[in-house]
Chain A
């Protein structure tokens, strides 16, 4: 040993650290750091792996990672540049064209694709029309086409037959069951045709006047994709080109995945907050326990700088050990979970992501420093005189400033981590409101106590003074319990709501086949035919095709056509499906005006109800007169209501629903749908064979695709939930432990005064139960607010009040906090009195 003071600092702090670690004195603070690092690491590592897998999965629906859409072919140099930047490219040219065979013809969605198509996802072919699809890795050869089942049905052809598209004949060599980028149009989409790009020119269907989309697909790692877009962007013309990535995917699937990603982010944020709270609690306790050693060292002549260095070293040792252990445990935990669910959830195989490691270590360091800073400052201010006057503590700042410091530290962490100001602010604000409400409640109690105690003599005032001191402590405990419970509630309820809405989107028995073109005469036969085979039909919707020609005498054909261009194939077609009914369709909601089916309706003019988005696009107002040309007839109707339609449900939806009286003159065809389990697919032939003129749409594969992704995402969300719940439980344990420390002295005194163990235990448990109930109730309230803000502002979900948790939260709060209190109280009471007293010294 030398006289060098720095060497002394190092030896002393290392020695203190070693002994304390060995004697288990550091367990709580170490656990807190380990927990925070492990939770953040495992959550973000797991969700990173999961996200890259899910992004891959959704990329399949684009058949690529990025897509450049264009109205004209783009220069070849653009594709060459992409290839030199290490990207894979493919092309798809898409247009509507007639397909001829056997003197029949049908409009089809023709897609000519290059050899590399699809870059993501797989094509599935069936052995026969409406058969079960099997993945293939090939494409139609030169002179060949693959067709949708519907084309086989309508054109009355078989595999090997010839069809004519434009000026070229093709041999039909496959039945398309599924294209990755087939789209989610339930019906109204034209049947698909796939041909080699090299044959396109010979068909001459892409001449001037035809509406053709040129899509260029790219895949590769995201950095390369971003680089390429940077190069490309200045050359794009927004009139001609658009750039799409998976994130822009607005399908129900894209929305589900995006929501899940936000949920992972939220869960990781909450894990950080929980970890911060537990570190703050543990650091407080650590600082308290070192008041004496600091006073002793100062008394023995240690200068302030020496004491500060000793404890900074200690924190560095503790943080380093905690971060190392936490990183190890976190990595192992997510690895085990990923292994366990690998066959159920797609988890990326390349397990190494640096970002989560950096974030976790950063979180550990920031938490350890920020949250021990204030307790350490208090510790450094402990006066040496404490060795004589045992009640002397630290003298630094107020608790308010501590709360402000902690709150802003947590906020900065959340913001830095998520990069999402909105989520961070929502969590901060509800947390603050909860803390403020709890402070007001406890302060109110104190004020009430003072009022009651006024005028009494010393003993009373003394008692109230003590209660006031305890109340401050209790309110701190209350706040930390309540915040923990609230965060757990947010994660839990959010998950429940999300999974519920996903499931409602595609309930069991969702119709997976649609039939159109059922004539009035066929209808009863179809019904009885299906019924005898045990297949339940849904509603029959009458339909006539009509041309929408004018709003209030303004001819709008051009406008509609223009809209059509902008919206592409998914827009309103030139001919609309008109239906009529007096009853409002399920999952439709009138947002303006009143539904024409309502009995008090005594309008002179025929009424029509318009879908609200179309109304907005075409600038249709309530009361406008709409004119439709149906065949040679003209129908006029007044807009009586605007409807909001849930496009996420797999059911026929209509832009225009007329009053039945307006349509009496027309003989409709019917649209209906039915559900047939995938295993019974073979029954289709039998079902459909008597009705060759009825067209069948098969969306079974689409629905299954959607459902499998949604269930994978739900499962992943489930695991995240469990991880966060574990983190929360550990935080609660740490909190109870540290409040138990504070109670130790009181217990020892009660014990020495002869109070029986049973009585002490009961009173402590009662206290914890009360704290649990109050914390649970307040948490349920704050949860409601946080959820409302999150769901309406961030997740774009429907919001609702969760009454059941108003009861559940206080109950579980009481149960869990009471139980934890009972356990640690029992542990403490199993020590005998002299041990207790000695622990206090």
Chain B
């Protein structure tokens, strides 16, 4: 599903060029769930952004569902994201001036799915928030907002889901709830999942863990028997 070959990321700052990712290569299989773990500032989010086509690699190759992301411009990547990718973020990233239902409808409308309202209501039902459909994000708790974000992520039936610290802003109880929901829906839809976390419990629920340190993948551990072993570097 994902293939990366020696991808690097260099950014320019006022103090000169800064390499935030050393050459990284690894693959993720279809239906697999992968956790990227590591200390804060180790480059996890940067990597996620590149994999999801939100950002452009400096060097190297990324194939997402066989499509060469590294050769695509922002417009092409946007189309790609709309068709194949779902997102969940630490800070929820709901549009404040749209209701829960309308937030869930948003990707369906952007990509031109038929019947977005119906689909969105069903998705809200799946996360148990159909009764809050007409509420605005600031009328919902953090946990509820993240559940709305999960419903939004699944409405387009993406092939692959990216999550950046999905429980990072939530207390333990809400975090658990969101976590359960995420894995449950992921299992049902058979989606490939890549998530960034420093919650070890969450990481352990994934098939595979990639450890990051100072911009490099260091080791890969605790693979589950079912997962195919295929890693580099």
Are A301 and B83 neighbours in the complex by a CB distance under 8 Å?
yes
CB neighbours of A20 from chain B (8 A): 97
CB pair B82–A388 under 8 Å, yes or no, is: no
**Residues of B contacting A306 in the complex (Cβ-Cβ under 8 angstroms):** 110
In the assembled complex, the Cα of A20 lies from the Cα of B97 at a distance in Å of 6
Asked if A25 meets B48 with Cβ closer than 8 Å, knowing A301-B79, A385-B54, A841-B91, the reply is no
Verify A300–B87 contact, CB threshold 8 A: yes
The CA-CA distance from A302 to B74 in the complex, in Å, is: 10
- Contact between B78 and A302 (Cβ–Cβ < 8 Å)? yes
A3 to B55, CA, bound (A): 28
Chain B residues positioned under 8 Å from A5 (CB to CB): 112
Interface-side segment among A75-83, A264-272, A291-299: A291-299
Contact of A301 with B117 at beta-carbon distance under 8 Å, contacts A19-B97, A293-B95, A384-B78 already known: no
- Residue in contact with A292 in the complex, picked from B49, B93, B114, B115, CB distance below 8 Å: B93
A451 within 8 A of B: no
B223 contact set on A, CB distance < 8 A: none
Interchain CB contact under 8 A, B110 and A302? yes
CA of A12 to CA of B83, assembled, Å: 19
A602 CB-CB contact with B under 8 Å: no
Residue contact A298 to B78, C-beta cutoff 8 Å = yes
Least CB separation from B117: chain A residue: A1
Whether the Cβ atoms of B116 and A25 lie closer than 8 Å is no
B205: Cβ under 8 A from any A Cβ: no
| Among A12, A299, A302, residue most surrounded by chain B Cβ atoms (within 10 Å) | A299
The chain A residue with its CB closest to the CB of B76 is A303
| Chain B residues within 8 Å of A2, by CB | 112, 114
The residues in B between 148 and 179 inclusive whose CB is less than 8 angstroms from any CB of A are: 152, 164
Bound-complex Cα distance A443 to B113 (A): 53
Inter-chain contacts of A3 with B (CB < 8 A): 112-114
Cβ-neighbour of A299 out of B54, B102, B117 (below 8 A)? B54
Q: Considering only CB atoms, which chain B residue lies closest to A294 in the complex? A: B95
In contact, B91 and A8 (Cβ under 8 angstroms)? no
A residues less than 8 Å from B204 (CB atoms):
none
Identify the closest chain A residue to B94 (Cβ): A296
**CB-CB nearest in chain A for B92:** A841
Docked CA distance A298–B79 (Å): 9
Chain A interface, >50% SS class: helix
Question: What band does the interface of chain B fall in when counting residues whose beta carbon is under 8 Å from A?
Answer: 35 or more
In the bound complex, residues from chain B placing their C-beta under 8 Å from that of A300 are 81-82, 87, 106-107, 110-111, 152
User: What is the CA–CA distance of A1 and B105 in the complex, to the nearest angstrom?
Assistant: 11
A4 within 8 A of partner (CB)? yes
Residues of B within 8 A of A12 (CB): 106, 109-110
In contact, B112 and A4 (Cβ under 8 angstroms): yes
Interface centre among B54, B85, B114 (most CB of A within 10 A): B54
On chain A, the residues within 8 Å of B85 by CB distance are 301
**A387 CB within 8 Å of chain B:** yes
Among A823-841, those with CB < 8 Å from B are: 838-839, 841
In chain A, positions 1-30 with a C-beta closer than 8 Å to chain B are 1-5, 8, 11-12, 15-16, 19-20, 23, 25
Find chain A residues with CB under 8 A from B83 CB.
301
| Interface 0/1 of A372-408, CB less than 8 Å to B | 0000000000011101111000000000000000000
**Which chain A residues lie closer than 8 Å to B74 at the CB level?**
304, 384
Residues of A contacting B95 with CB < 8 Å? 16, 292-293, 296-297
Contact: B45 with A388, CB < 8 Å? yes
Checking A23, A301, A388, A838 against B111 with a beta-carbon cut-off of 8 angstroms, the contacting residue is A301
B94: chain A residues at CB < 8 Å are 296
The reply to whether B82 and A301 form a contact with Cβ atoms under 8 Å apart is yes
Quick check: A838 and B93 within 8 Å, CB to CB? Answer: no
CB closest residue in chain B, given A15? B102
B75 located at the interface, meaning its Cβ lies under 8 Å from any Cβ of chain A in the complex? yes
Chain A residue nearest to B45 in the complex (CB): A388
A1 to B91, CA, bound (A): 30
A-B contact count (CB 8 A): 107
> B93 and A296: CB pair below 8 A?
yes
Q: Contacts A25-B97, A388-B48, A838-B138 given: A8-B54 contact, CB under 8 Å?
A: no
- The answer to whether B45 and A389 have CB atoms under 8 Å apart is yes
CB-nearest residue of chain B to A20: B97
Question: Does B98 make an interface contact (CB < 8 A)?
Answer: yes
Q: Contacts A301-B107, A304-B74: A387 and B54 contacting too (C-beta < 8 A)?
A: yes
List residues of chain B with CB within 8 A of the CB of A23.
97, 136
Pairwise interchain contact A301-B116, C-beta atoms closer than 8 A: no
Shortest A837–chain B CB gap in Å is 11
Residue B54 contacts which of A11, A19, A292, A388 (CB distance < 8 angstroms)? A388
Would you call B109 and A301 a contact (CB within 8 A)? no
CB-CB under 8 A for A8 and B89, given A299-B81, A385-B54: no
Question: Does A16 lie within 8 Å of B97, measured CB to CB?
Answer: yes
The residue on B at minimum CB distance from A384 is: B54
Contact B97 A301 (CB under 8 A): no
A302 to B95, CA, bound (A): 14
CB B112 to nearest CB in A, in angstroms, measures 4
CA of A93 to CA of B99 in the docked complex: distance in angstroms? 82
**Distance (whole angstroms) from the CB of B162 to the closest CB of chain A:** 10
Q: Is the CB of B91 within 8 A of A299?
A: no
What distance in Å separates the Cβ of B47 from its nearest Cβ neighbour in chain A? Answer: 10
Distance in angstroms from B48 CB to nearest chain A CB is 7
Given A19-B97, A292-B93, A388-B89: A303 touches B79 (CB 8 Å cut-off): yes
Chain A residue at minimal CB-CB distance from B44: A388
CB distance from B76 to the nearest CB of A (A): 9
The verdict on A297 contacting B98 (CB below 8 Å), with A1-B117, A5-B112 known, is: no
CB distance B54 to A302 under 8 Å? no
State whether A304 touches B117 (Cβ < 8 A): no
B93 with A19: CB separation less than 8 A: no
Q: Min CB distance, B201 to chain A, in Å?
A: 23
Is the Cβ of A297 less than 8 Å from the Cβ of B106? yes
- Contact status B110-A16, CB under 8 Å: no
Neighbour of A390 across the interface among B79, B91, B98, CB < 8 A: B91
Name the distance in Å between A409's Cβ and chain B's nearest Cβ: 29
Instruction: Name the B residues within 8 Å of A293 (CB-CB).
Output: 95-97
Cα–Cα distance between A2 and B109 once the two chains are bound (Å): 9
Assuming the contacts A4-B112, A11-B109, A19-B97, asked whether A301 and B49 have C-beta atoms less than 8 A apart, the reply is no
> CB distance A8 to B55 under 8 Å?
no
| B107: nearest chain-A partner, CB-CB | A300
In the bound complex, do residue A385 and residue B102 qualify as a contact, i.e. CB atoms below 8 Å apart? no
Nearest neighbor of B91 in chain A, beta-carbon distance: A841
Indicate whether A301 sits within 8 Å of B114 (C-beta atoms), given known contacts A296-B95, A385-B55, A388-B54: no
Q: Mark B213-231, 1 if CB is under 8 A from A, else 0.
A: 0000000000000000000
Contact with A along B67-82 (1 / 0, CB 8 A): 0000000110011111
* CB-CB nearest in chain B for A19: B97
Contacts of B116 in A (CB 8 A): 1
Q: Which residues of B have CB within 8 Å of A385?
A: 49, 54-55
Report B152 CB to chain A, min CB distance, Å: 8
Q: Kindly provide the distance from the CB of A301 to the nearest chain B CB, expressed in whole angstroms.
A: 2
Q: How far is the CA of A25 from the CA of B111 in the complex (A)?
A: 27
Within the complex, which residue of A302, A304, A390 is in contact with B82, where a contact is CB–CB below 8 Å? A302
Contact with B along A449-485 (1 / 0, CB 8 A): 0000000000000000000000000000000000000
- Residue in A16, A23, A387, A390 with the greatest tally of chain B CB atoms within 10 Å: A387
Nearest-CB distance from B90 to chain A (Å)?
9
Complex CA distance for A12 and B91, rounded to whole angstroms: 23
Q: Which of B55, B80, B92, B106: most chain A Cβ within 10 A?
A: B106
| Given the contacts A4-B112, A388-B49, A303 and B75 also touching, CB distance less than 8 Å | yes
Give 7 pairs: A residue, B residue, CB < 8 Å, sorted on A.
A8-B109, A15-B102, A292-B93, A293-B97, A296-B94, A383-B54, A390-B91
The 10 closest A-B pairs by CB, nearest first: A301-B82, A3-B112, A300-B107, A19-B97, A301-B81, A302-B110, A385-B54, A293-B95, A8-B109, A20-B97
Binding site for B on A (CB under 8 A): 1-5, 8, 11-12, 15-16, 19-20, 23, 25, 292-293, 295-304, 306, 383-385, 387-390, 838-839, 841
* Chain B residues with a Cβ under 8 A of chain A: 45, 48-49, 54-55, 74-75, 78-83, 85, 87, 89, 91-99, 102, 106-107, 109-117, 136, 138, 152, 164
